[in-house]
Each structure stands twice: as structure tokens, then as C-alpha cells.
Amino acid sequence: MTGIKLSGVTASFGGERVLGPLSLDIKPGERIALVGKSGAGKSTLIRMLYQQANSQASLIPQDLGLVHALPVFHNVYMARLDQHPNWYNIVTLMRPFERERADIEPLLDQLGILGKVRATVSSLSGGQRQRVAIARAIYRDATMLLADEPVSALDGPMAHVVMSLLNEAYETTVIALHDVELALRYCQRIVGIQDGQIALDEASSRLSETDILPLY
């Protein structure tokens, strides 16, 4: 398994440079937190990493990218559409098979939304939707996780549950977090982004909350 290496990349939006030039080397097994003000370029960086990783990464974008008209079960199942033939996906659309239910339902149970398995995403609250996107990312079973503020709509205890579940499912993670405490606790390496540049890159064991706050 390989990591991701960005060197000297830039990103522009509407003619204005929003990111870079920056270089970032992500090795297999690293757990990285991206921290920084909103608008600093974290989401753009995550998108670029996703493009670089091609099909090897599982992504949780900030706007979740769920299909609101489909039930929770199918939104999770969509993570593995590529692993089944068309007829199997079509039958699943009408009636899920036992095998996938046995995989997906315990996951939803851990996230506290098992009761919603048949409900459409449009009927869920913001926090519940976020947990559907998380279940999907875990079910994807890729080699790396890229997540953009995956716990922004969750309360304290649930945020901890989710962070441990994500760490359990993925060895290599890049997670944008605005919660500094969570970042220090669940990630080994903190990358601070400021005005599209890397302003901080340090092991979390050598950092405290007060070292990170100047970024905000």
C-alpha cells in the first residue's frame, strides 16, 4: 500500500489562488488532522488528496453527498456498488439481500441510527445524515480515509464514538477538524493550514491546544 505525495501543488478558484504552492507527504499508517480557520483551504486540500488517491481512498465531504430520496441502507450500500454486477444492484434497490444487511445493520447500530435503516435520508436530522455518511465511508473499506469535518454536527459522546470507529476502520486517515481537542486525541500528526499554506506540521505528542490556537 502506498501513501500520497503532493509536491508544489496549487489550486485556484475563479482566478484567485486558494491553496499552495504546498507539499505534503502522507505515509501509510499515519493519522493526520488538518486544522485551521474555515476558508483556509482545508476542504480544497482534501479534494486534491482525493483526486490524487484515485480509487484507493474513501471520502466524507463536508456536504456529505448523500442521495436524499434513497433510504439510509442504500446510501451506505452505494459505497460498494463497484463490487457487484448490475442485476445485483438493481435487486438490492428493490429488496436488500441478507448478506449486506448483516454487514450494514451492525454498523448503523454502533452509530445509533439502526432504527432509521429504512427511512429516507431526506427525513433525517443533520447529525443523523452525518452518521449515514460515516457508515458509508466505513463500509467502503478503502485503504485510506479522507474526511472533511466528519463530526461537526455530532454531540460530544457521539463524536468520540465516531472518531474511534473511524480509527478502527482505517489505519491511514486525513481528517479536517475544527475541534482541536479531538485532533490532538485521535491523530498523531497535526497539519495547520493558514491562507492556503502549511503553517504547522508537527507530531501531536509535542503539541498542546495553546500551540494550535494562533492558527484560528
Partner 1 sequence: MFSYPTVRTTFLFVAIAIIALAFSDIAITSINPWRDLGRFFLGVVTPDFFSTEGLATAILRTVAFAFTGVALGSMCGFLLALMYRWRIVRLFSAFIRAIHELFWALIFLQFFGFHPLTGVLAIAIPYSGIFAKVYSEILDEADPEPRTLLPTGTSAISMFLYARVPDVWDRIRTYTSYRLECGMRSSAILGFVGLPTIGFYLESSFSQGQYSEAGALLILFYVLIATIPWWVKPKLLPIYVVGAPFFLGEGLPIVWGNVARFFTEDIVPSPIRNNEGLGEFGAWLGDLMLTEAIPGIWNTVVLTQIALVFTGLLALLAFPLISTHFGGPVRRTSGHIFLVIARSTPEYILAYILLQLWGPSMLPAVVALALHNGGIIGHLIGRQSNNIKLRADAARGLNRYSYELVPRVYSSFLAFLFYRWEIIMRETAILGILGVATLGFYIDSAIQNIQFDRAMVLILITAMLNIGIDGLSRFIRRRLALQTMPTC
Among 7, 15, 63, 95, binds partner 1 (CB under 8 A): 63
24's enclosing H/E stretch is: strand 16-26
Which three cell numbers, joined as nine digits, stand for 212? 494550535
Q: Is 112 helix (H, G, I), strand (E, B) or coil?
A: coil
Instruction: Show contacts with partner 1 in window 142-201 (CB under 8 A).
Output: 142
CB under 8 A: which stretch of 20-28, 70-78, 107-115, 151-159 binds partner 1? 70-78
Q: Which of 82, 98, 102, 155 binds partner 1 (CB under 8 A)?
A: 82
**Residue 118 binds to partner 1 (criterion: CB under 8 A):** no
Pairing type for strands 16-26 and 4-13 reads antiparallel
- For 195, phi and psi rounded to 5 degrees? 50, 45
Residues making up the chain, counted from first to last: 216
The yes or no reply on residue 91 touching partner 1 (CB under 8 A) is: no
Residue selected from 25, 27, 29, 81 as contacting partner 1 according to rule CB under 8 A: 81
Q: Phi-psi region for residue 131, left (φ > 0), alpha (ψ -120 to 50) or beta? A: alpha
Residue from 113, 155, 157 nearest 132 by CA: 113
# residues contacting partner 1 (CB under 8 A): 25
Q: Taking CB under 8 A as the rule, does residue 74 contact partner 1? A: yes
- Regarding 116 and contact with partner 1 (CB under 8 A), the answer is no
Q: Which stretch binds partner 1 (CB under 8 A): 35-43, 78-86, 171-179, 192-200?
A: 78-86
Which residues, at least 6 apart from 110, have a Cβ–Cβ distance to it below 8 Å? 161, 165
- Residues of this chain that interact with partner 1 (CB under 8 A) are 54-55, 59, 61, 63, 65-70, 74, 78-84, 86, 89-90, 93, 140, 142
